[in-house]
Structure 1
Amino acid sequence: MQSLAQQLPSIQAQSFGGDLQAHTLQMKLRGLSPNHTLILVNGKRRHGTANVSVAGGPFGGSAAPDISFIVPESIEHVEVLQDGAAAQYGTDAIAGVINFIQKKADHGGSFDATGGKYYDEGGQTYAVGGNIGIAPFDGAYLNVAAQKKYKNYSFRGDINPQATSLSTKYPAIKDLPGYPYTNRIIGDPQIDQTVVSYNAGYEFGDFKLYSFGSYGHKKAKAYENTRPPTTVVSGAGTKAAGGVAGVPFYPGGFQPQETIDETDYSFTGGFSGSVGETTFDLASTYGNDDISVDIINTANAQLYRDTGYTPTNIHDGSFFNTQWTNTLDLTHPFDIGLAGPVNVAGGLEFRHEEYGIRAGDPASYYGGGTQSFFGYSPKDAGKYKRDNFSQYLDVSVKPIDAWLIDGAVRHEHYSDFGDTTVFKLTTRYDFSDAFALRGTVSTGFRAPTLAEGGYSGLNVGPSSISGVLPPASAGAAALGFGGLKPEKSTNFSAGFVFHPTPKLSMTVDAYQITIRDRIMISSGFNGFTGNRCPQGYNGSNAKACLPFDQDRYNINNQLAVLSAVNTALGGSGNLTSLAQATAIPVYVLYAPNGVDRATDGSVAVQSFVNGVKMRTRGVDVVVNYPFDLGDFGNLDLTFTGNYNENKVLKINPLPSALYSSTQNPGLTQLIATSDVTQLENSTPKFRGTLNGYWQLGGFSVNLRESFYSEVYALETARSTVGNVTAGSLFKVPVKDSFLTDLEVGYQIAKPIKISFGANNLFNKYPTERSKALIRQAELDNNERGYSSDKYPTFSPFGINGGYYYARLNLTW
């Protein structure tokens, strides 16, 4: 994934993910969602991950295939179609298609070993892999590849002021690993992963039997926010005299970690060949991803208070995602007297998908739940299914030698979303051997992933409730939602191919993609805090507001949200008073002294929604020129550039049960202003890469210089400085950056090559968050957040700085 992002500026690899997303980083094409790029292996659809991202921003909702389970040593080459291809490959190929073609060699092989680490703390990495080609019998090939890789934690945070301020009262804090850097949530997880794959085939006459597949296992651990020894016991009304939440075996607090145990496998079998001039390809693919989630070094404080016991390693639940795809593809040329035959391709596809959540141990969701990650309860658990049947037809023709016209149409029927038909028309005209124009117009239709429609996770804390409601659930219906609609898109592109000299080649392509009803995670809808329903509000939804100690706190509470949460927890909906919220634990709504929690409590939920209409415009440029330097070897220069601009054209309205604040409308939109800003500005508007590869005999040097234009997010100022007032939104940037990558290699002998290199050679870090506007207030108030707010995690080139490595390659 990182290699693709380094070489193709239109690809952006996710560099950091919070919570579960830390274990399954994704990539996006042309600034769109990872879900808008179709991933193929040997031309067959790859199954998605079970680990859906419930974070906001551009990677929110992503459940695309986990590329880490494709063995690098198995790959012969990668095909990237940077164009809408929904009518040809599948209606979700809105941004394009990435096709990993695996090796078919029946002899020889390779072995490689790599080790490295970050310049600064952590990230120790090793990877050992290889592949071997075998000819089991005449006409057959079997290529087997495997990789074992390990990556250690990194940490890019700061000291934890909360720990230092409490260390006198609780001296055991100083015994926590890393003190005073005890809050280690910002950084890479620890990953231990093994993957094995094969690609096999048998050719006899005009026919071929083939099969390929993979099996992988990943174990990973990621730090969560550290817990101090002063946490309030749920509903107890007192603070712990020693030990977190009254748990005595953590006298200095604790550093919980979230772990996953993931198994991923895929199998494809097929039969292809030709009968006369007609070719056929019949194939079946089954893929499965299963993820078990545990929290270690943790506790359930309320369970301990009520029973005197709590486990410290707790199973939180698990997810699974399966996909069974069956395809038949046919092609036939018809000679009708034109410059070339009319090539007709058509096919059928049947796909069955399942996604589900399994509940965790009762200790993970009892009362206030597991510290750091509330477990998935039986109310969250569920299984969702979908069938898809599609047919496509593609016709290409050359009326004259210089002109190619290709048209495609695809019809799909979803068992849960009905029917859709999408189209594509593309053409190319070669004015000469040196210059050609090309253009495409297409439409797309992406049904929500089952994970987007079925994910559920409601966290009940000592004084708060938060989480995600499934869009079609009774709880979401209480908010006025009725489930998700499919996304629809329109894609235009035009460009040219230019070969002014035999060596110099250039392609330039401009594009515009408009997506309607783009699916993303919503704003948080508050029922118990904030100014969602301003004082004095008397609009049409005034009955949805509940005055709550208004004179003391000037806060109102929204009954629609409380109804949704009460319903999700097993109670009734359509509340008209707070007293009817019987399923919401009383300690969430009332402090131990019996008064309200209007100053420190909250009830807030989110859901996946059809959030925005969005337009993406851009230009891709690729220029290549190889130099023959005679006695000084050969130099290959390549420039790749991408200009990309995302614009939210419209935010869809809130459902009728909710309302927009007249005081802070940006806080009460379906998609918050800050999330809109991330959609528009978290992808560099310009990325350019100049790569030079020089080779002289057995000696080689690869030098790559990459430019990332500024990206930014909007965050809330904590202090008043200059023209920025406390409580207002201001721009947090990662400024324009140049990054240099360098690799030097030497071919010791014909089969042996050693390489030494560095990514981000000069150890470039992203722009730090403002000390004056954010971090100083956190430091002054001894807040844990100071430790994790040093660098913006949306940085397009990560937060870890430089990485150096050495590699050994053997080929035979």
Structure 2
Amino acid sequence: MKKALLKKLYLLALLTLPITVFAQGTITGNIMDQNGEPLPGVNVVSKGTTNGATSDFDGNYNIEINSFPGLLVFSSIGFNTKEVNVTEAGEVNVTLQEGVALDEVILVGNRSKPRTILDSPVPIDNIGVSELRNTGQPTIDKMLTYKVPSFNSTTQTVSDATAHFDPADLRGLGPSRTLVLVNGKRKNQSALVYINDTPGKGEVGVDLKSIPAAAISRIEVLRDGASAQYGSDAIAGVINMVLNKNVEYTTVNVTSGITTEGDGFKLGADVNTSINLGDNGGYLNLTVGYYEQEETNRAGTPGDDVLFGVSADDPTWSSWLSSNPDLGMTVGQPKLNKADIFINAGVPFKNGKGEFYTFGGFTYRKGKSFALYRPPYWVSDPSNLLHEAGTEYQGFQPTFETDVRDNNATVGVKGEVLGFDVDLSGTYGRNAIDYEVNNSLNVDLGANSPTSFDVGAYSFSNTLANLDFSRILGQVSIAFGAEIKEERFTAEAGEPASYFGGGAQSFPGLQPANAVIAKRSNFGVYGDLEWEPTEQFLIGGAIRYEDFSDFGDNVSWKVNGRYSLGEKGALRASYSTGFRAPSLHQIYLSNIQTLVSGGTISNQGTFNNVDPVIREGLGVPQLTAETSKNISAGITFEPINNFTASLDFYNVKVDDRVLFTGEIGNDGDDTTTNPIEQILNDNSITSLKFFVNAVNTNTTGIDVVLNYRNMKIGSGIFSATLAANFNETKIEGQIDTPPLLAANDYIIFNRKEQSRITSARPKSKVLLGLDYNIGKMNLALNNTYFGEVSWMHSSNGLNGVDLGNGPLPTEDEAFDQTFAGKVITDLIIGYNFTDKISGSISANNLFNVYPDEIDTKGDFVTDLGGRFKYPWEVNQFGFNGTVINAGLTFKF
């Protein structure tokens, strides 16, 4: 494998040897609006190339031109695009008129030339950093949730490490099927598999908390399948985070907030600045940030504990239950401390004939979440380990604490070879998580048990080399290139005390048998072609071949087209095939988890896909790639000045979807032992899980975006945006159950697990944003409707075993519950005290809206005996209630 990888790297290096770069000069200037005010954040692109720049706070810009004569394209949100011919290096000043939002220039989705949203044959959102900050949300994943209707991410609780990462997905297709890029280069995935009962269970995503908003100029969201262009994971779409370059001023942001319940205090500060490197337009942009938040608690208050059969009037425990009606629980957002540093730099060389560039960053964060409280009647405390001698034992609540490091770096060079724009780059990214369980004990160690445990660690890294060529030949644009990638996943065992016997309470440590170092490599080549025979008509296509060292190869392709309606809009459509390689995590993850159900404590084992227990004992096949078919069609148009609209339909079919099975345990017949039960007995566990390609899904949806900008009301300017997503995912055909399990009547993916795919995320989401600028003040009122979600019981209480709470319910008393849709309102008020000092106050969830409370319908396991008040296995928008924020921005 290593020899093959080295050979491919050597071939890539040979391709770069004949590179000779040349350019013609630099254009500088200033950009203003029609009132003579400077315009920051304007995109400037040398048309027909990938050269781009962004104007600074004073409207100044600097861009390299490869050859003269050339055409510069100036575009910004809310302004008409302007094209300017340039014949020589020098100064070009531009005035933009207020106008169309469809003219925003985007880079993602096209390898050969930048296009505007109007020109693009696929739907793309272009979101500026000011729009992201105006959500009042603390991290990128939450900002996108309140800006992109088809994107969802919510805080999880009492879910081990998942509480520190928050699964995020696009178009309801799960975290694994969205590709994340930084400056067009692939961002590494996190080291975590979401294995708890949350949305995205069994999947792997990118750690979006590791990218600070202060480092970002804008985010481009491609809502279309793009595996043929970018490779694995791009089934649902692509998120490209474009970093800041030259900025005129150093910007300092300070924010703080707290819930109206008095908890969840948060504080953040960041600095962004840039340094000019030389006289030829070189730059170094630097971002440093810090953020912290305290936990929140919205636990239920049952007053008694039906989970363990202890009532409020129990003579032994009534005093404790009276003092702890919430059963000691902490249910809410985790505690978090985060620090990060990011850079983005470019250095022209040989008098501007080429550019070296580099970007990347490092994020370090520590988190603390909470497990189920262990009341004194649940777990005994040997030798007063968790309380002082002579005091009455009150039980304990273990904490699950994470130490997360995420770092990525890209180094590259751009130039020209025989008329082709060439980009050669190398990227390294890594995410690592160390786990600790504190305020806990291992009862099997008795008085020798520690109360803090190192329970293990995970890491994931990838190393990439990319070589990309592009060129415009009249009406035809071509691009092609290659990528080599190596991935590495590791799992480290915890200390022996963490897994001895039953292990540490709440999370038994990873055992030596769970430790692994796994690697794989893959090689991909692609070609991209666009033909624009007239100004109105565009047709394009792409094809990609990838070969993976562990499961084989794949070919994916795409065709798309666009018919321009002039300045009034365009018709567009695409059809593509795609794929997603099973992650190394899904192939090699194994562990043991503690389960609590009906007062019974048990251990569940996850076996990896290469374990003989799974492959030979159960006959589970080797994991292979998911494949997809993606079709979309839509229209963008401007029926009147300042009003723009887009409507897009999409259908995504995913075959052989990788899933994490439900619990597979005893069949309830104590008279015989089937082969599966024998495996459980041999491994001293009560149930098992594994990963398998077993489900085909069909997702259909509609995206709608309406914008009305620059309406003069009084002495101010009013803008409004209405954006919506409506989608539905269905499971098609039969679930592919391995023959041995099917022969013994096991269901590997029950109703509850199916609901995580079909109903755990809102099927509808609508955003209405109202913005009013008057003088030095800005008022923003955002309303987000999160549609209903449904929690489905594993058997719906109709054909399962007695759960210990009397006879099974009738069909009218079934356990399923639908949680109604709700509207979350955010109010943001900003004020510019001077040109360089501004402030803001905001209220997120202004009207203190919470999800519907859990209705157990007789199933006390649904809310774990009343410990949970609000749903957590399905989640619309969390349950913190109103959050009041304040912020200050300084520029110097």
TM-score w.r.t. the length of structure 1 is: 0.85
State the 1:626 CA deviation: 1.2
Deviation at 1:179, TM superposition (A): 3.3
Matched, 1:254 2:396: yes
Which of residues 158, 161, 182 is equivalent to 2:304?
161
Aligned to 2:334: 189
Match among 260, 270, 294 for residue 152 of structure 1? 294
Deviation at 1:708, TM superposition (A): 2.0
| Aligned partners of 1:232 and 1:245 also within 8 Å | no
Alignment equivalent of 2:753, drawn from 675, 693, 716: 675
Counterpart among 474, 489, 505 of residue 612 in structure 2: 474
State the 1:289 CA deviation: 1.2
| Displacement of 1:629 | 1.6
SS at match of 1:254: coil
Tell me if the contact between 2:335 and 2:367 (Cα under 8 Å) persists in the aligned partners. Answer: yes
CA deviation vs aligned residue, 1:712-752 (integer Å, no higher than 9, x gap): 11135679999953997432122021121110111111111
Distance in 2 (CA, whole Å) between partners of 1:141 and 1:494 is: 40
Equivalent AA in structure 2 for residue 442 of structure 1? S
- Larger mean Cα displacement after TM superposition, 317-326 or 791-800: 791-800
SS in 1 for 2:430: strand
> CA 1:247–1:445 in structure 2 vs 1: closer, same or farther (change >3 Å)?
farther
Check if 1:707 corresponds to 2:785. Answer: yes
The reply on whether 1:264 has 2:380 as its aligned counterpart is no
Counterpart code for 1:262: V
What letter is aligned with 2:689?
Answer: Q
Distance in 1 between the 2:805 and 2:315 partners?
32
Residue identity matched to 1:161: D
1:560 to 676, 689, 699: 676
Which residue matches 2:564? 430
> Displacement of 1:393 after TM fit?
0.2
Change (3 A) 1:260 1:117: same
Whole-Å Cα distance in 2 between the matches of residues 454 and 298 of structure 1? 28
Residues 359-416 of structure 1, C-alpha deviations (whole Å, 9 max, x = no match): 0000000011001101100001111111010000000011222110110000000000
Structure 2 match to 1:10: 150
- 1:679-728: per-residue Cα shift (whole Å, max 9, x none)? 21222222111111100010110011122221111135679999953997
Determine if the alignment matches structure 1 residue 614 to structure 2 residue 697.
yes
- In structure 1, distance between residues paired with 2:833 and 2:480: 50
How far apart are residue 229 of structure 1 and its match?
Answer: 2.3
* Partner AA of 2:206 in structure 1: P
> Residues 165 and 198 of structure 1: is their aligned pair in 2 closer, same or farther, counting only changes over 3 Å?
same
Q: Is the 8 A contact 1:122 1:154 kept in 2?
A: yes
User: Is the 2:813–2:857 contact (alpha carbons within 8 Å) kept by the matching residues of 1?
Assistant: no
Contact 2:649 2:703 in 1 (8 A): yes
Provide the rounded CA distance (Å) in 2 between the counterparts of 1:722 and 1:253.
32
Contact 1:49 1:321 in 2 (8 A): yes
- CA displacement, residues 586-635 of structure 1 (integer Å, 9 cap, x when unaligned): xxxxxxxxxxxxxxxx7101112213100000011111111332642101
Amino acid aligned to 1:198: I
Q: Could you give the per-residue CA deviations for residues 638-684 of structure 1, whole angstroms, max 9, x where no partner exists?
A: 1111111111113423212213677xxxxx32211122123212222
Which stretch has the larger CA shift, 401-410 or 153-162? 153-162
Q: 1:64 aligns with which of 202, 205, 209?
A: 205
Match for residue 390 of structure 1? 524
Quote the Cα distance in structure 2 between the aligned partners of 1:455 and 1:390. Answer: 26
After superposition, the C-alpha distances for 1:326-372 in whole angstroms (9 at most, x for unaligned) are: 1001012223xxxx2x1110011000100010000000000110011
Q: C-alpha deviations, 1:25-65, integer Å up to 9, x for none?
A: 12100000111000000000000111111135641123221
Cα 1:309–1:168 change in 2 (3 A) is farther
Paired residues, number:
731
Matches of 1:699 and 1:761, distance apart in 2 = 20
Q: Which segment is superposed worse, 649-658 or 310-319?
A: 649-658
Partners of 2:786 and 2:392 in 1: CA distance = 45
8 A Cα contact 2:312 2:321, kept in partner: no
SS at 1:346 equivalent: strand
SS at structure 1 position matched to 2:277: coil
Q: CA deviation at 1:123?
A: 1.2
Separation in 2 of the partners of 1:441 and 1:619?
16
Residue equivalent to 2:356:
209
Of residues 270, 276, 291, the one that matches 1:129 is 270
Worse-superposed segment, 318-327 or 106-115: 106-115
Identity of aligned residues (%): 30
Q: Alpha carbons of 1:724 and 1:737: their partners in 2 closer, same or farther (altered >3 Å)?
A: farther
Letter in 2 for 1:480: G
Change in Cα spacing, 1:648 to 1:772, as seen in structure 2 (3 Å) is closer
Is 1:503 matched with 2:642? yes
Tell me what 1:570 maps to: none
Secondary structure at 2:523's aligned position in 1? strand
Query: Do structure 1's residue 753 and structure 2's residue 838 form an aligned pair?
Result: yes
Alpha-carbon distance in 1 for matches of 2:593, 2:640: 63
1:248 CA displacement: 9.7
State how far apart, in whole Å, the 1-side matches of 2:168 and 2:270 are. 23
Where does 1:286-305 land on structure 2 (aligned, <5 Å)?
286-304=428-446
Alpha-carbon distance in structure 1 between the residues aligned to 2:807 and 2:834: 64
The CA deviation at 1:241 is 11
Deviation at 1:485, TM superposition (A): 1.8
Q: List aligned pairs for 1:340-489, cutoff 5 A.
A: 340=475, 342-459=476-593, 464-477=602-615, 478-489=617-628
**Preserved CA contact (<8 Å) 1:173 1:253:** no
For 1:194 and 1:240, the matched residues in 2 are separated by 39
Distance 1:434 1:788 in 2: 52
**Bigger mean CA offset, 399-408 vs 785-794:** 785-794
Cα 1:14–1:114 change in 2 (3 A) is same
- Aligned residue in 2 for 1:576: none
Distance in 2 separating the partners of 1:650 and 1:185:
41
Contact 2:296 2:330 in 1 (8 A): no
Supply the distance in 1 between the matched residues of 2:270 and 2:545 (Cα, whole angstroms): 42
Q: CA deviation at 1:525?
A: 0.9
**1:806 corresponds to:** 886
Q: CA deviation at 1:186?
A: 2.1
Unaligned runs of 5+ in 1: 234-238, 536-547, 551-555, 567-580, 585-601, 663-667
- Residue of 812, 815, 819 corresponding to 1:730: 815
Change (3 A) 1:300 1:635: same
- Quote the residue 1:141 is aligned against: 283
Deviations 1:736-778 (A, max 9, x none): 2112111011111111111111111101000111165345x99
1:11-90 mapped onto 2 (5 Å cutoff): 11-17=151-157, 18-56=159-197, 58-90=199-231
Distance 1:648 1:507, change over 3 A: same
User: Does the alignment pair 1:199 with 2:344?
Assistant: yes
Q: What's the offset of the Cα at 1:245?
A: 13
Give the alignment partner of residue 513 of structure 1, picking from 632, 639, 652. 652
SS in 2 for 1:657: helix
Given the superposition, is the C-alpha separation of residues 256 and 430 from structure 1 closer, same or farther in structure 2, using an over 3 Å criterion? same
Distance 1:212 1:266 in 2: 8
Q: CA deviation at 1:15?
A: 2.7
Change (3 A) 1:719 1:434: farther
Task: Tell me the CA shift for residue 786 of structure 1.
Answer: 1.2
Please give the secondary structure, in 2, of the residue aligned with 1:690. Answer: strand
DSSP 3-state at the match of 1:135 = strand
Distance 1:346 1:289, change over 3 A: same
Question: How far is 1:212 from its partner?
Answer: 0.7
- The letter for the 1-side match of 2:538 is L
d(CA) in 1 for partners of 2:249, 2:842: 27
Question: What SS is found at the alignment partner of 2:202?
Answer: coil
